[in-house]
Copies of this chain bind each other. A is one copy, B any other.
């Protein structure tokens, strides 16, 4: 939120709306370390928004004569939404980085097991021969798709700056200049219309997180199914059991699965929120304040856990072969198999850039 106030003041100074000295004073004062977060949250609770105690404190720090230029012509929702978008971007990029690492691991795994035959299973019934590399390529393709989506949504995130009614009426004829200046400073896009009541950036974020969560659920479930007693084609770092010695609980994949289920619930909720009444909503907007963080917590915990699970993955080729043979299939994956691995590795390379 401080970053937004600083960018706003700078753009207003460039547009001649406030003195440059005021913009500098605001930038100097707006250090997170000068603010007591717990106090701001608590005071914000009373008045209904954390922005008020934040700018009260910022004004006190800026002091006379520039304090009046803090938060000029803007509104709580501008600051909260733009700050949310900055945090969303950091979150999406963090996931993108993790997924780039995960993809590297999966790409190596797919290529290493290009010729490792295993049973292909549809409806959990034997359906033919694939390579383990091909299965991993499916996971990799999902990771690649997620990276593209994360990147795209991060790049499309829009500035929110419309003033109390979303009509950008606080800056006279300088509205466009201020918007442009803030957007450039924060590296955000400029929406055609303010999105005070149109929450598609939030839903697009939810969609990207739902994609990540779906990938995690698939990889986690496949891993647990392959590691299950009686199949045992892979093993992963085991958790400990409080009651059964030597039990090989695939605990990271289980945690990933759980966190992903938690995450999809949050993202689904973000899609179902609403409506946003007139120029500001009577509940759906504030509900995002809780759901965006829980959605990220879920998706990030899921990604972290599955990355750890995959990092510990051991492949039991002989068991794959035995299960395949027992099901009556030949250990000869299709030649297409290997080409599809290459396609997935290429798609990942392009997505990763």
Contacts and interface: CB of A to CB of B under 8 A. Distances in A.
What is the copy number of this chain in the assembly?
A: 4
Given A197-B218, A257-B283, A343-B192, A278 B225 contact: yes
A24 B69 CA distance: 67
Contact of A272 (B253, B257, B264): B264
Given A48-B239, A255-B48, A271 B275 contact: no
A183 to B, nearest CB: 14
Contacts of A228: 121, 124-125
A336 B46 CA distance: 33
A52 B247 CA distance: 14
A247 B140 CA distance: 28
Given A278-B122, A284-B258, A203 B199 contact: no
Interface of A: 46-49, 51-52, 55, 71, 73-77, 79, 119-128, 130, 134-135, 137-138, 140-142, 144-145, 149, 163-170, 173, 175-176, 191-194, 197-200, 203-204, 206-207, 210-211, 214-215, 217-218, 220-222, 224-225, 227-231, 239-244, 247-262, 264-269, 271-287, 289-291, 294, 298, 323, 326-327, 333-337, 339-340, 343-344, 346-347
A290 B300 CA distance: 14
Contacts of A149: 200
10 contacts: A74-B242, A121-B228, A121-B278, A122-B165, A124-B225, A138-B197, A173-B335, A192-B346, A221-B283, A269-B269
Contacts of A272: 210, 264-265, 267-269, 272
B214 A200 contact: yes
Contacts of A255: 48, 286
A161 to B, nearest CB: 12
Nearest to A195: B141
A242 B344 contact: no
B211 A200 contact: yes
Given A228-B124, A264-B272, A290 B259 contact: yes
Contacts of A276: 218
A283 to B, nearest CB: 3
Contacts of A79: 242
A105 to B, nearest CB: 17
A250 B47 contact: no
A127 B251 contact: no
Contacts of A327: 229-230
A133 to B, nearest CB: 11
A271 B264 contact: yes
A207 B164 CA distance: 29
Given A221-B282, A266-B269, 12 more contacts: A48-B240, A55-B242, A74-B243, A123-B250, A138-B193, A142-B200, A218-B277, A230-B230, A230-B327, A258-B289, A261-B273, A265-B287
A151 to B, nearest CB: 14
